[in-house]
């Protein structure tokens, strides 16, 4: 059997069982992580078994992005259980990242839109819920972005249908976010799922954590609706920071932003109502993300938790919250004379 087959088989068996067992033990102790002789031994076995398999991988067999996700899951699990990863194993991820032009770590796409093997870290039902609802929201954002991108090139009688398609898709984003808020257990998320998304080093460079926002469509929508501008230094930082964490085929979409539909409706007001309906749906979905996901599932539990490693990106929570709330203002067109 090839080294990759051995490794990916381990990921879908012993790796899953080991993580699940450790998560249940931490949860029973009411902690995000715990140490004792038994747990420490289990963490060491996880680290050593994975390292032995990863370091056998030579060259770039199969789909390199899929392989990066597989290796990335192992690196993230080591970070989560606070065991260091041998440099030779990190170097496998480093080589794949370099070849693909992406950050050499797992990102949310490796669990959702680019995950034919249906990999997860654990067997926990809350992890499954988290990946599925987030993934459904990503797919819906992608449908909305695809519809908006086509508007400038279709004949006038087709424009309304594309706005309607985008509107329906953004309503589906909101519905997926609502389903997540209803079904995800805040304690399970905070203690057993979020810790796999933390920043970690690869060959000496620290890479920020993964989050469900690492795809281009949400930004394509911002730009298509004229809610954000690439010339705005704040927004440019958002795009540039996100770029290495996008799946390879998303990267060109950020390099060639869609046309600004706001100037189109200003010139020809026939579709102004539909434009505003789409804009409101985008704002509503994102405001929900902020107030009903970020706050109850991250900010509130964080009040009684150690402050390091709380956010996916790494900066202190209040800095991340300030950035996210500025994005809420932009996406809901607050103070922009656009509300209707």
- Sites of contact with ligand HEM (CB under 6 A): 133-134, 137-138, 141, 177, 180, 184, 189, 211-213, 218, 289, 293-294, 297-298, 311-313, 320, 324, 327
- Side-chain-side CA neighbours of 294 within 13 Å: the count stands at 22
Nearer to ligand HEM, 264 or 298 (CB): 298
Residue 202, token pair as written in the block:
């690869």
| Residue closer to ligand HEM, measured from CB, 37 or 308 | 308
Nearer to ligand HEM by Cβ, of 77 and 109: the residue is: 109
* Shortest CB 230 distance to ligand HEM, Å: 14
Q: Please, which residue, 212 or 264, has the CB nearer to ligand HEM?
A: 212
| 300/339 with CB nearer ligand HEM | 300
Burial string for 6-39 (b: 16+ CB within 10 Å, else e) reads ebbebbeeebbebbbebbebbbeeeebbeeeeeb
Minimum gap (Å) between residue 119 Cβ and ligand HEM = 19
Output 16 or 324, the one with its CB closest to ligand HEM: 324
For ligand HEM, which residue has the nearest CB?
Answer: 213
- Least Å distance between CB 55 and ligand HEM? 31
DSSP character at residue 291: I
Three-state secondary structure call for residue 85: coil
Residues β-bridged to residue 68: none
Q: By C-beta, is 96 or 138 nearer to ligand HEM?
A: 138
Instruction: Tell me how far, at minimum, the Cβ of 286 lies from ligand HEM, in Å.
Output: 7
Angle, vertex CA 273, rays to CA 269 and CA 275, nearest 5: 85
Comparing CB distances to ligand HEM, the nearer of 107 and 293 is 293
What span, in angstroms and rounded, lies between the C-alpha atoms of 117 and 66?
9
Rounded Cα distance between 134 and 113, Å, is: 10
Q: In the bound complex, what is the minimum distance in angstroms from residue 126's beta carbon to ligand HEM? A: 10
> In the bound complex, what is the minimum distance in angstroms from residue 327's beta carbon to ligand HEM?
5
Q: How many beta carbons lie within 10 A of that of residue 168, not counting itself?
A: 15
DSSP three-state, residue 293: helix
For residues 93-118, b (16+ Cβ closer than 10 Å) or e, as one string? bbbbbeebebbbbbbbbbbbebbeee
Kindly state the smallest distance separating residue 174's Cβ from ligand HEM, in Å.
Answer: 10
Phi and psi torsions of 201, nearest 5°: -85, 150
Residue pair 144/166 in contact (Cβ under 8 Å)? The answer is: yes
CB 85 to ligand HEM: min, Å: 22
């Amino acid at each position: 059997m090839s080294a990759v087959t051995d490794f990916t088989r381990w990921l879908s068996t012993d790796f899953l069982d080991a993580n699940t067992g450790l998560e249940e033990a931490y949860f029973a102790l009411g902690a995000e992580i715990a140490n004792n002789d038994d747990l420490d031994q289990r963490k060491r076995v996880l680290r050593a078994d994975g390292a032995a398999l990863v370091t056998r991988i030579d060259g770039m067999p199969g789909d390199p992005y899929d392989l990066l996700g597989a290796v990335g899951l192992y690196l993230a699990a080591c970070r989560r259980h606070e065991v260091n990863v041998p440099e030779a194993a990190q170097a496998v991820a480093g080589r794949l990242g370099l070849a693909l032009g992406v950050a050499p770590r797992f990102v949310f796409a490796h669990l959702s839109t680019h995950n034919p093997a249906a990999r997860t870290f654990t067997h926990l039902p809350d992890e499954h819920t988290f990946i599925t609802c987030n993934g459904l929201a990503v797919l819906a954002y992608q449908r909305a972005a695809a519809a908006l991108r086509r508007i400038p090139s279709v004949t006038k009688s087709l424009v309304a249908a594309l706005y309607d398609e985008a509107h329906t898709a953004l309503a589906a984003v909101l519905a997926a976010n609502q389903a997540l808020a209803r079904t995800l257990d805040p304690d399970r998320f905070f203690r057993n799922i979020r810790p796999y998304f933390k920043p970690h080093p690869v060959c000496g460079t620290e890479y920020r954590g993964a989050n469900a926002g690492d795809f281009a469509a949400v930004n394509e929508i911002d730009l298509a609706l004229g809610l954000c501008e690439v010339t705005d230094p704040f927004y440019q930082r958002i795009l540039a920071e996100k770029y290495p964490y996008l799946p390879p085929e998303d990267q060109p979409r950020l390099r060639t932003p869609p046309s600004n539909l706001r100037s189109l409706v200003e010139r020809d007001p026939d579709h102004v109502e539909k434009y505003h309906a789409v804009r409101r749906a985008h704002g509503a979905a994102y405001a929900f993300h902020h107030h009903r996901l970020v706050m109850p599932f991250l900010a509130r539990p964080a009040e009684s938790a150690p402050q390091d490693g709380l956010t996916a990106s790494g900066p202190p929570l209040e800095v991340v919250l300030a950035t996210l709330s500025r994005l809420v203002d932009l996406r809901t067109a607050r103070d922009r004379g656009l509300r209707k």
